Homo-oligomer: A and B are copies of this chain.
């Protein structure tokens, strides 16, 4: 694998409205996408753009107590950095490479918040970083 673009930094937040207000008012974000639910992932998602199409901040709030971000928020009630997402040109070959390296992949390859296939790799095999691998959207490059 060749290291790809850092598509986004995933940030867990306990309250989406408060988090959006923070990124607008404190951090000065001007491009805030409309939040949307991803019920199959158990989260509400909102992307914050940085200038010139740079790496985004992906806010993640739990849709229920069973959400993947709920246990993170139980340990970190204020929220915080949840995962890093790097792009790859081809998701299937990236998955094969991680499998060949005996990295623990969390669940099947599925469609992520940007509409392209993604998978997650276990933080214990990735220097403590929950790592999302995402196929680069075809239209964006």
Interface of A toward B, CB cutoff 8 Å:
1-6, 9, 11-13, 19, 22-23, 26-30, 48, 50-52, 54-55, 57, 76, 78-81, 84, 86, 101, 103, 123-124, 126-129
Q: A81-B81, A84-B81 are in contact. Are A5 and B50 (CB under 8 A)?
A: yes
| Cα(A124)–Cα(B79), bound, Å | 9
Q: Are B28 and A80 in contact (CB under 8 A)?
A: no
Q: Are B80 and A22 in contact (CB under 8 A)?
A: no
Q: Oligomeric state, in number of copies?
A: 2
| Cα(A57)–Cα(B127), bound, Å | 13
Q: A13-B127, A19-B127, A129-B11 are in contact. Are A48 and B3 (CB under 8 A)?
A: yes
Q: Are B52 and A5 in contact (CB under 8 A)?
A: yes
Contact of A22 among B2, B11, B123, B127 (CB under 8 A): B127
Q: Are A78 and B123 in contact (CB under 8 A)?
A: yes
Q: Chain B contacts of A55 at CB under 8 A?
A: 6, 54-55
Q: Are A101 and B52 in contact (CB under 8 A)?
A: no
Q: Are B22 and A3 in contact (CB under 8 A)?
A: no
Q: Are B51 and A23 in contact (CB under 8 A)?
A: no
